[in-house]
A and B are shown apart, each in its own frame.
Chain A
Amino acid sequence: MTVLLSLDALGKSWFGVPAVTDLTLDVAEGRLLGLIGQNGAGKSTLMNMIGGVVQPSSGAMRWLGATYHPQSAGDATRTGIAFIHQELNLFTNLSVAENLYIDGFPSRFGLIDWPRIRTRSAEILHRLALDIDPDTQVGRLSPGERQLVEIAKALHNEARLIIFDEPTTSLTPRETARLFDTIAALKAEGRTIIYISHILGDVLALADDIGVLRDGRLVDSGQVGDFSVPKMIRAMIGRDLSGLFPPRTNKPASHAVLQANGLTQPGVLQDVSLSVHAGEIVGLFGLMGAGRSELARILFGLDAVASGSIRLNGSPVPAGIAGRIAAGMAFVTENRREEGLMMEAPIADNLALVCLRQFGRGPLAVMDTGAVGMRTEDARRDLTIKAGDIRTQPVKALSGGNQQKVVIGKWQMTAPRLFMLDEPTRGVDVGAKFEIYTLIDRLAAEGSGILMISSELDELLGMADRIVVMNRGEVMGELARPDFDRERILALAFREGLT
Chain B
Amino acid sequence: MSGRATIPDLEASPMTATLLQRRPLSDRAADLFLSDYFILYLSLVFIAVLAPFLPTLVTPGNIVNVMSNMWPLLIVAIGQTFVLAIAGIDLSQGSVIAVTSVIGAALITLVADPVVLSKAPLWGVLITERGGPLAGVTGGVLIAILAMISIAALIGLINGLAIAVLEMPAFMVTLVTMMTISALAIYLTQSENIAQLPETYVRLGKGDLVSVYFGVKDTSQLPRKEVFSLVTYPMVIAVTLAIAAHVLLNRTVFGRQVLAIGMNRKAAEISGVPVRRVIVLVFMVSAVCAAIGGILYSARLEAGRPTLGEGTFLLDVIGAAVIGGTSLFGGKAKIIWTVFGVLFFVLLSSSLSAMNLSAFQVDMVKGAVILGAALLDVLRTRIMRERMR
Contact = CB atoms under 8 A, between A and B. Distances in A.
Interface in B231-288: 247-248, 251-257, 259-260, 263-264, 266-274
Given A343-B264, A344-B263, A344-B331, A302 B247 contact: no
B206 interface: no
Given A325-B272, A338-B266, A345 B331 contact: yes
26 contacts: A15-B389, A302-B270, A321-B272, A325-B271, A325-B272, A338-B264, A342-B264, A342-B331, A343-B263, A343-B264, A344-B331, A345-B260, A349-B256, A353-B268, A356-B253, A356-B256, A360-B252, A360-B253, A366-B251, A366-B252, A367-B251, A367-B252, A367-B255, A369-B251, A396-B388, A410-B271
Q: Name which of B253, B257, B259, B331 has the most chain A CB atoms within 10 A of its CB.
A: B253
Contact of A321 (B253, B257, B264, B269): B269
B267 A357 contact: no
A448 interface: no
A302 B268 CA distance: 12
A337 to B, nearest CB: 9
B247 A366 contact: yes
B279 to A, nearest CB: 15
B332 interface: yes
A333 interface: yes
Interface of B: 247-248, 251-257, 259-260, 263-264, 266-274, 331-332, 388-389
A15 B270 CA distance: 32
Contacts of A339: 264, 266-267, 270
Contacts of A322: 272, 274
B292 to A, nearest CB: 19
Given A338-B264, A364-B252, 10 more contacts: A300-B270, A322-B272, A339-B266, A342-B267, A343-B263, A345-B260, A353-B260, A353-B271, A357-B253, A410-B271
Contacts of B331: 342, 344-345
B264 A341 contact: yes
Contacts of B259: 345
Nearest to B255: A367
B278 to A, nearest CB: 11
Query: Which 9 A-B pairs have CB atoms at the shortest separation, nearest pair first?
Result: A342-B263, A365-B253, A360-B253, A325-B272, A342-B264, A354-B271, A322-B272, A353-B271, A339-B266
Interface in A272-304: 300, 302
Interface in A156-174: none
A322 B251 CA distance: 22
Contacts of B257: 356
A252 interface: no
A342 B256 CA distance: 12
Contacts, number: 77
Contacts of A356: 253, 256-257, 273
Nearest to B384: A394
Contact of B272 (A340, A354, A359, A364): A354
Contacts of A364: 247-248, 252
A341 B267 contact: yes
Interface in A45-66: none
Nearest to A345: B263
Interface of A: 15, 300, 302, 321-322, 325-326, 331, 333, 338-345, 349, 352-354, 356-357, 359-360, 364-367, 369, 394, 396-397, 410
Given A15-B389, A366-B251, A394-B388, A331 B270 contact: yes
A15 B389 CA distance: 7
B18 to A, nearest CB: 25
A397 B272 contact: no
Contacts of A352: 256
A321 B266 CA distance: 12
Nearest to B254: A365
A357 B247 CA distance: 16
Contacts of B263: 342-345
A288 to B, nearest CB: 20
A333 B252 contact: no
B274 A367 contact: no
A396 B254 CA distance: 24
Contacts of B274: 322
A418 to B, nearest CB: 15
A352 B259 CA distance: 13
Nearest to A342: B263
A359 B267 contact: no
A16 B94 CA distance: 52
A367 B266 contact: no
B253 A359 contact: yes
B252 to A, nearest CB: 5
Nearest to B263: A342
Contacts of B389: 15
Contacts of A359: 253
A93 B267 CA distance: 28
Contacts of A342: 260, 263-264, 267-268, 331
Contacts of B264: 338-339, 341-343
A157 B270 CA distance: 42
